[in-house]
Amino acid sequence: MTVFRLIPGVQSYEWGIKGGEKNSICADLAEATPELEFQRNATTPYAELWMGTHPILPSRLADDKSKPLLNEVLCKNPGLLGDEVVKKYGTSKEGSLPFLFKVLSISQALSIQAHPDKKLAERLHAEKPDMYKAIAAFSGFCGFRPVREILHFIEVVPELHSILHADDALRKQLQTAAEAQENQWKGSSNENASNIVYEALKLAFGKLANTDQKVYQPAVNKLVARYEEARQKNKTLEVSEDIADLVIRLNGQHSEDIGIFCTFFLNVVHLQPGEALFLCADEPHAYLSGHILECMAASDNVVRAGLTPKARDVDVLVDMLTYRSTRADDQLLKAERWDGDSAYPNPTLLYDPPIEEFSVLVTTLTDKAGKSSQRALRGPSVVLVVEGKGTLQADGQSQELYAGLVLFVGANTPIEVSSDHKLVLSRAFLEINA
């Protein structure tokens, strides 16, 4: 047997969406697995649905009487992982799958954070690259804005200018970095451009991150009061209406927090269903609202920068960031047609980030007699039915598909999916290139 139903786990955090809301997607999907014994509460915020072997909330097999942990089954049956995966990652009980698959439902901003790279992760236990794909409208912070935008905000937002003590030297260094970056984007061969940008952003962001609470809290209050007054009196501001509204909204969720000023440093990204982003390690980000599928290396390492009551490790944070600066649209992860299936009427799409630990397939069947025949993968995969109904054939078995169903598919197992209705499957997998 190489295909079996999984019992996912549910996490409740304050930033999740309450069970009584119509758009509580995590709660909706959790209800599809009777063995989870999920008791939906109208006032409980449901934030994450976990699918994998992470020790904090590991999945179990649904159809086995003893409900064994997935990682226990994989340890006893390493063939389900595939020879290449076992050779590379082993079968440790601490995490047989190198990736963790999640659904997130977000009603308010999570902390601004970054995940460590391999070198730093040796001290913090594991690295955590991250990919997310919108299943409904989503917004978030992702990476540093172009230097020119940051410099502009420092010059025109008086509260930001004040807390940074933005003297001529800082502005000149940022101006030099902005010019180097723009020339690089135009094709200049200045090999030092990236380092110039790195040094300037590290200096400016380091000043922000190290600002004393007694300084930044009054500045936040002054900024928010000014934006609220402008909105009430229909006054023109130095920033766009969207930026002002975001500052006010973040203060309502995280009052007087230093992270509110990160609005002027970080890109604000808006995704529509089907659009995706990949986050390298050491990149600052925060989820603001919406619903996403998230796939990540199996780690819970995080260093926080703001929008949180939890401790911020400022020194580690400032030193670990890459200070890669880019335009928001440049951060999208483009989907490609996957060559591993024959599908009607729509092709299966592959989201393939530039790392080994995971990739994601999305199959969408929309017409009657829709069908997708997918080749065997040389590694394990976890399938989530995001929407619709259908049937999956594999290993001589037939499995009914319905929204919220979670399946594990072992290595070297071809599958065939069919539906007379709309059906959307997302499949996280690991396949090591030969």
Q: What is the pLDDT of residue 297?
A: 86
Q: What is the pLDDT of residue 202?
A: 98
On whether 113 is known to bind a ligand per the annotation, the reply is yes
**Would you call 286 helix, strand, or coil by DSSP?**
strand
What's the burial of 168, exposed, middle or buried (CB within 10 Å: 0-12/13-18/19+)?
exposed
Q: Where are the beta strands (DSSP E) in 256-368?
A: 266-271, 276-279, 285-297, 303-306, 336-337, 341-344, 349-351, 359-365
262 in Cβ contact with 141 (< 8 Å): yes
Q: Which residue has the higher pLDDT, 297 or 251?
A: 251
pLDDT by residue (tens digit) across 196-232?
999 999 999 999 999 999 999 999 999 999 999 999 9
Q: What is the pLDDT of residue 117?
A: 64
| Tokens linked to 149 | 């935008």
Is residue 40 flagged as an active site residue? no
Judge whether residue 126 has pLDDT over 50.
no
pTM of the model: 0.92
How many C-beta atoms surround the C-beta of residue 169 within 10 A? 9
User: Which residue reads 């030092």 in tokens?
Assistant: 192
**Start-end of CATH 2.60.120.10 domains in the chain:** 7-143+270-331, 336-429
| Nearest Cα to Cα of residue 408 among 127, 134, 63, 131 | 63
181 in Cβ contact with 171 (< 8 Å): no
On whether 285 is known to bind a ligand per the annotation, the reply is yes
The CATH number, out of the four listed (1.10.10.10, 2.60.120.10, 3.90.550.10, 3.40.50.150), of the domain defined by the range 7-143+270-331: 2.60.120.10
Euclidean distance between CA atoms 434 and 432, whole angstroms: 6
How many C-beta atoms surround the C-beta of residue 50 within 10 A? 20
Q: Which residues contact 334 (CB under 8 A, 6 or more apart)?
A: none
Per the omega criterion (within 30 degrees of 0), is the bond before 273 cis?
Answer: no
Q: Which residues of 95-125 are buried (b: 16+ CB within 10 A; e: fewer)?
A: bbbbbbbbbbbbbbbbbbbbbbbeebbeebe
Judge whether residue 234 has pLDDT over 80.
yes
| Lowest-pLDDT choice from 63-77, 120-134, 249-263 | 120-134
Which residues does residue 141 pair with via DSSP β-bridges, in sequence order?
A: 268, 286
Q: What is the pLDDT of residue 309?
A: 81
Euclidean distance between CA atoms 257 and 249, whole angstroms: 12
| Tokens linked to 52 | 């994998």
How many C-beta atoms surround the C-beta of residue 137 within 10 A? 13
CATH superfamily for 336-429 is Jelly Rolls (2.60.120.10)
CATH superfamily for 147-261 is Phosphomannose Isomerase, domain 2 (1.10.441.10)
Euclidean distance between CA atoms 8 and 80, whole angstroms: 19
pLDDT by residue (tens digit) across 273-302?
999 999 888 899 999 999 999 999 876 677
| Nearest Cα to Cα of residue 46 among 24, 66, 29 | 24
Q: What is the pLDDT of residue 121?
A: 46
| Nearest Cα to Cα of residue 20 among 45, 50, 39, 48 | 45
DSSP string, 9-42: EEE--TTSEETTSTT-HHHHHHTT-GGG-----T
DSSP class of residue 332 equals B
Four-residue CA torsion sign, 7, 8, 12, 15: negative
Q: Of 304, 312, 378, 427, which residue is the catalytic one?
A: 304
Which residues does residue 391 pair with via DSSP β-bridges, in sequence order?
A: 400, 418
The dihedrals phi and psi of 270, each to the nearest 5 degrees, come to -120, 125
What does pLDDT average to over the chain?
A: 92
